[in-house]
Structure 1
């Protein structure tokens, strides 16, 4: 009897041809590596992709004093993201329920990001540095996902995540488009979901990586391009692809076999925000073809901030905090994971969501909003 696709990790994807293009935002000079990670096939691939980098042995990818908890790194925030990379083995493989953007949050194949969005929550855990950590045990991650998908069985009740497939978010703590330039982890996951008929991968991104167009997802991977008005993106979405480039990529990704949704996130309230969102929606209406419109959906996520991240940001990007940190508009809110954050006051948030939803109905009536919070 042939083994089930759910019982074993799918065959890893072949190295793309032509070679993957490493973006300029990754000028890696140091690779902090656990021994097992560096010796693994995936670790060897990463080391070969950055042959001039110094390899620094570490006992744990979570315990690197030069990076984590080093307050001096605030002044080097972007340089650390550019020059440092971490290789580790993911010890705990857990898939968690979600119910908003996806049915489940998959075990991360990486952690951290080379981009520098001022509102990103991932650095709150690491403290003062947030370079990319690549987890090299990708076979274990895909095998875990296969077992979890098999346990769910077919999806019999449609929900706002997807009417037919169980949706697994791959990039809760990273940006998979950037990760795909560092290793084949993302290529392997896209290949795996291509073979799992009851499930669909999903990730949000602010980086246009056209190498992803060669992966042949066959409709089993959903890419969510994150968008915000350009005036906000210039201040808050540092080191990301321009918003216009993200919009221009949508039709190409749909043609390549991806499902493409939009992620209006975060929505930042300030004078004139409604006019700028109207302009963005008109750009979308002009930029997306009929095929992209027919399958499009969006999620709306209002800004969430954090006092600890506010203090870190004051050390490297205080101008961003003038827009993000608004005690006159915000209140403390405990998140699902127990973190104490600040969000817009309930009545203000409700009114803003209603205003943005009305703008979407006026300017892009073909765009379904999956959820807003």
Structure 2
């Protein structure tokens, strides 16, 4: 007998800033889990029993399943990007119910990272509408998009999961649906087929994150299986989404060339001509972190056998000042070139927007 998978979300406690709990969006969310205990908190950033306590490592997945946080976005600003999108939009949430072993967000919040929903989405939407209007039409094509300004709306979360919790993501996608000069974009590791009913009119780009299934089984915890993600791609294209691929992170396992060759060949075999015609991808090699490495040893050491390989890694100071580790520069450059050659050979219809 096959046991059913445990639910991604089984909310029993909702930690809420008072204004967030009293807001219309906060009330909608609380009503979705009427049996959950609502716990007032002064700040969504300071909840010791949820994050910031290393003793929570042993309860990592349980906290992600059972805890939800409601707060208000205090700093509403759009930032320049130029890689995954032209701009990074204000976050609709942060944190995630999934538990990928390489996720960078726990480096900031520490030890557990359940979803925090920002309930003042009306202010975020108004800010974005003003920002898009100020840009005017896009007059010069770039690697983000030849015609539209692209706004990443899910930098610190997975919007497909967020859409299980509230209408925030749909509200923002509906905003871009009626915006001819811009489009929303987000990467996802979760297949939420409710999104197929949204009729986005091509104004939302979903980037399905893909990697070899054998690696994902170890590193992509609580995500949709790779086969399910791949099977959803054509359906989302048919439903009116622009669908790109996010080959990320590329983890250099002993069999990575063979594994990626198999995946790319499979994609070439199963994706429809319509999907291939609009297909593009971004390629991001693994960046890791010593603190996250230590955290992972407390709950999922098997993943670190793939992620922590000091013999081919070196320190890197990121743009935000954090000290991380990446594959050694000369070595990495050769592997990036090899990866792009694999894509060109086995999935030639897929344009690579950028790779690093």
Match of 2:267 among 274, 280, 284: 284
The 5 Å alignment of 1:1-373 reads 24-373=7-356
CA distance in 2 between counterparts of 1:186 and 1:44 reads 17
The Cα offsets for residues 257-299 of structure 1, whole Å up to 9 and x where unpaired, read as 1000000000000211000000000111122101000001001
SS at match of 1:82: helix
Deviations 1:162-191 (A, max 9, x none): 000110001100000000000000110110
Deviation string, structure 1 residues 103-143 (Cα, Å, up to 9, x no partner): 01000000000000000001111011100000000000010
Unaligned runs of 5+ residues in structure 2 are: 1-5
Secondary structure at the counterpart of residue 19 of structure 2: helix
- Distance in 2 (CA, whole Å) between partners of 1:42 and 1:177 is 18
Distance 1:329 1:78 in 2: 30
User: Residues of 1 paired with 2:239 and 2:329: CA distance?
Assistant: 41
Q: What is the TM-score when the length of structure 2 is the normalising length?
A: 0.97
Question: For the residues of structure 2 that align with 1:348 and 1:300, how far apart are their CA atoms?
Answer: 16
How far apart are the structure 2 equivalents of 1:111 and 1:256? 27
| Structure 1 unaligned spans of 5+ | 1-22
Instruction: Measure the CA separation in 2 of the matches of 1:40 and 1:349.
Output: 48
TM-score by length of 1: 0.93
What's the RMSD between the two structures over aligned residues? 0.8
Give the whole-Å Cα distance in 2 for the aligned partners of 1:96 and 1:259: 23
Mapped to 1, the partners of 2:49 and 2:55 lie a distance apart of: 9
SS in 2 for 1:333: strand
1:69 positional shift? 1.4
**Distance in 1 between residues matched to 2:55 and 2:235, nearest whole Å:** 42
CA distance in 2, matches of 1:142, 1:69: 30
- Deviation at 1:68? 2.3
- 2-structure distance, mates of 1:184, 1:113: 16
How far residue 59 of structure 1 moved from its aligned partner, in angstroms, is 0.6
| Cα distance per residue 1:202-244 (max 9 Å; x no partner) | 0000000000011111000000000000111000001000111
Partner deviation per Cα, 1:26-46 (whole Å, 9 max, x = no partner): 011111001111111111111
Which segment drifts farther, 336-345 or 134-143?
Answer: 336-345
Q: Which residue in 2 is equivalent to 1:17?
A: none
Distance 2:76 2:65 in 1: 28
- Runs of 4+ in structure 1 displaced over 6 angstroms? none
Cα distance in 1 for residues equivalent to 2:320 and 2:88: 13
CA–CA distance in structure 2, aligned partners of residues 105 and 230 of structure 1: 29
Aligned length: 351
